[in-house]
Amino acid sequence: PSAQTLELFGDKARSKQLAQQLDIPTAAGLADPSEDLALILQAVEGLAMPCIVKAVAGGGGKGMRVIRSLEQAPEAIAGAIREGRSSFGDGRVIVERYLSGPRHVEVQILGDGRGGVIHLYDRECSLQRRHQKVIEEAPVSSIPDEMRHLLWSHAVALGKASSYLGLGTV
């Protein structure tokens, strides 16, 4: 992928904003990244509990904290900012509604860098330990075909919108 594509998809807030522009559903919350504790606390107060704070540059579960009550929020937010700074050089975070027991389903895409993108089907990655995949199974055996086709079309739309070049995962 190009440097611009890596920057786009390496930033949770920017990639989420692109998905929203394409009418792809995303989790509700504070989409504009910030390091301002007061602003982030204000966003958390407007969300139903639990919610999750995520470092925008994070990966592998680093810079993520689940907030189950408003009393925990200041410490959790400060911890995510600190870990984002130390692990990725970027302390900005977003806040989202926390999905307990979600499915982690991925779609492989292949793009030519000029807007031509195809999907290479789906894989189940829900079996995780500390936000890291333990087992990947392809194809996903337990989703309806309508959902599968929707996931494929969303992945291809993101690839096309970013002029994706190479093989990647959505």
Give the pLDDT confidence score for residue 101 in this predicted structure. Answer: 79
Encode pLDDT of 17-29 as tens digits. Answer: 999 999 999 888 8
Encode pLDDT of 37-84 as tens digits. Answer: 999 999 899 888 999 999 988 777 789 999 999 999 999 999 999 999
Catalytic residue, from 12, 62, 133, 160: name it.
Answer: 133
* Residue with token string 């292949």: 110
Mean pLDDT of the chain: 90
- Pairing outcome for strands 93-97 and 51-55: antiparallel
**12 in active site:** no
| Tokens read off for 48 | 């139903």
